[in-house]
């Protein structure tokens, strides 16, 4: 059924409304469901349906109308007509989900609805899957979905990954760390089985700027010093939580940080979070592994990763975040990201020597200039203090880089006093 948002009813509308009223009064709800679930050439406005629902005290229809009005602004975003949104809303309001399942996944073939619907019994949240792909990885697909809420609907990201023992960590670690600031906000975690296959799905907040990597590479977005600090604070806060749980992220490229920008009365609010735990491991599992999935972000010691022990990987995560922040602060891609020193064909000693030289030229020299200024009794302004913090994270000596907590506290002090 399609809807015209007008108050004047046409003859066909009157006939259909009368039929609905008669069936409601007779409590023939199966007939009501057929009429409201069917697509016909007649047009009935939401106003008319709302009046009918109130007149006959039929709460499911009243809630469905209210929900459709709340969701209608999102119909283009998720690729659904307003008519389809109403059909799903009415179906949700007349089909309670069972509580005993871990999750409910109902494709169109089972419901006759225009889209797949899903339900999480643990949270009571219901989702409408749009199928609009917004990202793909080696083992997952990310699409848009709509969190069904009659009052506060929300377009969210739906990340689905076929489960296997090698590539299941993203779901496990995201669920373990859920609810902490600085990390991607998850809405629900669903598991479904189809025969022998298992699919893990994460519904999460949709960050309106997408990945920080895309913003840095493909847009002309400029950040103020305060905004750069806000981004750094969010990422450091997220990494602090990761490390406190004895987890090494191992893939801290800009592509795996998400960015949201909202306008407010004072300008913009910028929020960055850490995401994508597909390469993450517990600290006791990582010995000998390549430090970062995006291996160009690896610290110099990563060239000889086969020698590395568990706790050393905390420092390589810090170096990777320092690389992201260097890119943000100086507004250009760091030179060492343009050559993959971990996988390059040259001898390891040559790769290590070249990477150390680049870091000396682009990091150490400037860091030492700032430190010399302090030794000569001059104070650093907030901009220089922030710059020094970033350069310290990129120190060639891992023990000089600091921990995420130390760096976060230092950054907070800079932000308070600037």
* pLDDT tens readout for residues 374-411: 999 999 999 999 999 999 999 999 999 999 999 999 99
Is residue 51 assigned to a domain? yes
Same domain, 200 and 216: no
Same domain, 220 and 156: no
- Quick one: average pLDDT of 324-334? 97
Q: What is the residue range of 141's domain? A: 104-205
Is residue 201 assigned to a domain? yes
E strand segments, 137-212:
140-148, 154-162, 186-194, 197-205
Give me the CATH number covering residue 361: 1.10.510.10
* Placement of tokens 């009046």 in the chain: 51
pLDDT band at 8 (very low <50, low <70, confident <90, very high): very low
Is residue 29 assigned to a domain? yes
pLDDT at residue 197 greater than cutoff 90: no
**By the 8 A CB rule, do 271 and 309 touch?**
no
Count of domains in the chain?
Answer: 3
* Placement of tokens 């517990």 in the chain: 282
Is residue 225 assigned to a domain? yes
The confidence score (pLDDT) of residue 33 equals 64
Same domain, 274 and 398: yes
Q: Give the Cα separation of 114 and 85 in Å (integer).
A: 9
How many C-alpha atoms does 124 have within 13 Å on its Cβ side?
2
End position of a domain, from candidates 205, 238, 265: 205
Same domain, 389 and 342: yes
3-class SS shares of the chain: helix, strand, coil, % to 5: 50, 20, 35
* pLDDT tens readout for residues 18-53: 766 666 666 666 666 666 766 443 467 788 788 888
Give me the CATH number covering residue 124: 3.30.200.20
Of 357, 321, 325, the closest CA to residue 339 belongs to: 357
**By the 8 A CB rule, do 200 and 175 touch?**
no
Residue 36 backbone phi and psi in degrees, to 5: -75, -20
**By the 8 A CB rule, do 302 and 289 touch?**
no
Give the contacts of 355 (CB within 8 A, at least 6 positions apart): 300, 303, 336, 341
Same domain, 220 and 336: yes
* pLDDT tens readout for residues 59-117: 888 888 899 999 988 888 888 888 888 888 888 988 877 665 666 888 888 888 889 99
End position of a domain, from candidates 180, 205, 230: 205
The confidence score (pLDDT) of residue 100 equals 59
Range of lowest pLDDT (5-9, 145-149, 300-304): 5-9
* pLDDT tens readout for residues 286-298: 999 999 888 899 9
End position of a domain, from candidates 160, 190, 205: 205
Same domain, 157 and 257: no
Same domain, 266 and 381: yes
Is residue 87 assigned to a domain? no
**By the 8 A CB rule, do 58 and 24 touch?**
yes
Same domain, 349 and 280: yes
Same domain, 182 and 256: no
Is residue 78 assigned to a domain? no
Same domain, 304 and 361: yes
Give the contacts of 345 (CB within 8 A, at least 6 positions apart): none
pLDDT at residue 1 greater than cutoff 50: no
Q: Give the Cα separation of 376 and 321 in Å (integer).
A: 30
pLDDT band at 308 (very low <50, low <70, confident <90, very high): very high
The confidence score (pLDDT) of residue 39 equals 47
Is residue 65 assigned to a domain? no
Same domain, 241 and 321: yes
Is residue 94 assigned to a domain? no
Task: Render the burial of 76-97: b for 16+ CB within 10 Å, e for the rest.
Answer: eebebebebbbbbbbbbbbeeb
pLDDT at residue 133 greater than cutoff 80: yes
Same domain, 28 and 112: no
């Amino acid at each position: 059924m399609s809807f015209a948002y007008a108050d004047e009813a046409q003859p066909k509308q009157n006939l259909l409304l009368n039929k609905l009223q008669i069936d409601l009064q007779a409590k023939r709800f199966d007939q009501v469901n057929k009429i409201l679930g069917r697509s016909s050439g007649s047009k009935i406005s939401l106003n008319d349906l709302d009046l009918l629902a109130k007149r006959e005290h039929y709460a499911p229809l009243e809630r469905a109308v209210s929900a459709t009005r709340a969701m209608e602004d999102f119909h283009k975003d998720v690729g659904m007509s307003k008519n389809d949104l109403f059909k799903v809303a009415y179906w949700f309001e007349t089909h309670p989900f069972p509580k005993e399942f871990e999750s409910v996944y109902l494709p169109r073939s089972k419901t006759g609805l225009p889209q797949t619907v899903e339900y999480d019994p643990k949270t009571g949240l219901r989702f409408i899957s749009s199928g609009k792909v917004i990202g793909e990885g080696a083992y997952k697909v990310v699409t848009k979905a709509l969190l069904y809420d009659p009052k506060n609907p929300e377009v969210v990201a739906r990340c689905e990954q076929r489960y296997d023992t090698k590539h299941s960590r993203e779901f496990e670690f995201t669920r373990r760390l859920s609810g902490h600031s600085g990390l991607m906000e998850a809405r629900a975690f669903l598991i479904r089985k189809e025969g022998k296959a298992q699919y893990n799905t994460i519904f999460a907040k949709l960050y309106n700027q997408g990945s920080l990597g895309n913003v840095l590479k493909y847009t002309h977005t400029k950040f103020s010093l305060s905004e750069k600090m806000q981004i750094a604070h969010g990422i450091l806060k997220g990494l602090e939580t990761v490390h406190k749980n004895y987890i090494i992220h191992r893939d801290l490229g800009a592509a795996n940080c998400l960015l949201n920008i909202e306008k407010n009365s004072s300008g913009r609010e910028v929020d960055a979070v850490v995401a994508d735990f597909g390469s993450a491991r517990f600290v006791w599992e990582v010995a000998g592994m390549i430090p970062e999935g995006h291996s160009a972000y690896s610290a110099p010691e990563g060239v000889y990763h086969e020698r590395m022990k568990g706790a050393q990987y905390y420092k390589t995560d810090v170096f990777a975040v320092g690389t992201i922040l260097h890119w943000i602060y100086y507004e250009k891609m760091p030179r060492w990201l343009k050559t993959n020193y971990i996988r390059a064909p040259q001898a390891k000693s040559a790769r290590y020597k070249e990477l150390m030289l680049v870091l000396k030229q682009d990091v150490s020299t400037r860091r030492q200039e700032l430190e010399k200024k302090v030794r000569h009794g001059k104070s650093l302004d907030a901009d220089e203090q922030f710059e020094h913090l970033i350069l310290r994270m990129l120190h060639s000596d891992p023990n000089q880089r600091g921990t995420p907590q130390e760096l976060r506290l230092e950054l907070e002090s800079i932000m308070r006093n600037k």
